[in-house]
Amino acid sequence: MNSPAGSAVDAGDIQALKARVEQVIRGKSEVVELALVAVIAGGHILLEDVPGVGKTTLAHSLACALGGSFSRIQFTSDLLPADVLGTLVLEPGAGSLVFRPGPVFANVVLADEVNRCTPKTQSALLEAMAERRVSVDGTSHALPAPFLVVATQNPHDHGGTFPLPDSQLDRFLLRLSMGYPDREAERAVLRNGGFRKANLKAALAPDRIAELVTAAEVITVHEQLEDYLLELVSRTRSDPRFVRGVSPRGAEALYRAAKALALVRGRNFVIPEDLRTLVLPVLAHRVIPRGEGMAAAERAFTELLAELPPPA
């Protein structure tokens, strides 16, 4: 597989990164691929799934393969914004206050059960995700690069949850579900003693991640594909299956993710399949469907894609 034209990135680097994560996350090639899309596109991931399917392992494996730091925040109802962002503490012997960074200062942050904490703490995390910096006592502190939040969310029918508002859901580039493994993948989990903490060597030097981000930015999107994307999001704003359609930020997220997916798949141009692959994970959580829950949104998009053939 050749490098995308005009890029310093070897496509083999991306495949090595993907293969490294798949040493631990077995049978979930599509999920791993989309997680790499989030890294390269500079976005964040919301994982909604039942407990025990490997969400923590995915986040930790990504951190190891990227050669970066990892932190896990268990969200609970008594968690405060300072517990996430950090706070000022009195330095012993110096008599002055110094900033002690919180667990959000890591390359990959697992925000576990994010909908179990109060809206105030949710907002603090989501602001850090959007701004890639935090402000404490009037001083701004930059977060490390790359910076990826993998937030897990319990299904809304679980007790003690505070559902994320629509405006905050919109901050996540992708909404994914791990799902149950197939039989052979689950057999491997059993033989290996369950989902063990990843202990992988880095697949790339940290500065290579910045090169991937830059390479994705110059991926070509043909004007016909731009028209296709714009027609898709425009229809959601008038289609009776949607109470509220895709915002311009949602359209931009799909555009950016498609370029990253093309790079991950070894091309220097986007094809219709890239866009169609990403419609559900990028857009379904950004709309309000005329129906109940995420299933209604996914059904509406599936029908809309069937009615809107891609450009030749």
Q: What is the pLDDT of residues 179-213, one digit of tens each?
A: 888 888 888 878 877 666 556 788 887 778 889 99
Rounded Cα–Cα distance for residues 162 and 160 (Å): 7
Rounded Cα–Cα distance for residues 163 and 168 (Å): 10
CB 216 within 8 A of CB 259: yes
The pLDDT value given to residue 26: 83
Parse the chain into domains and list their residue ranges.
1-202, 219-312
Q: Dump pLDDT digits (tens) for 61-74.
A: 999 999 889 999 99
CB 110 within 8 A of CB 59: yes
The pLDDT value given to residue 196: 60
Give the total residue count for the chain.
312
HSE, CB side, 13 Å, CA atoms: give it for residue 281: 28
Q: Which CATH code for domain 1-202?
A: 3.40.50.300
Residue 170, classed as helix, strand or coil, is coil
Instruction: Look at the block and give the residue holding tokens 């667990």.
Output: 103
Residues of the chain with pLDDT under 50: 1, 5-7
Please tell me whether the peptide bond between 163 and the residue prior to it is cis, using omega within 30 degrees of 0: no
Instruction: Look at the block and give the residue holding tokens 């931009």.
Output: 252
Please tell me whether the peptide bond between 310 and the residue prior to it is cis, using omega within 30 degrees of 0: no
CB 27 within 8 A of CB 181: yes
Rounded Cα–Cα distance for residues 292 and 289 (Å): 7
Q: Which CATH code for domain 219-312?
A: 1.10.8.80
The pLDDT value given to residue 8: 54
pTM exceeds 0.85, yes or no? yes
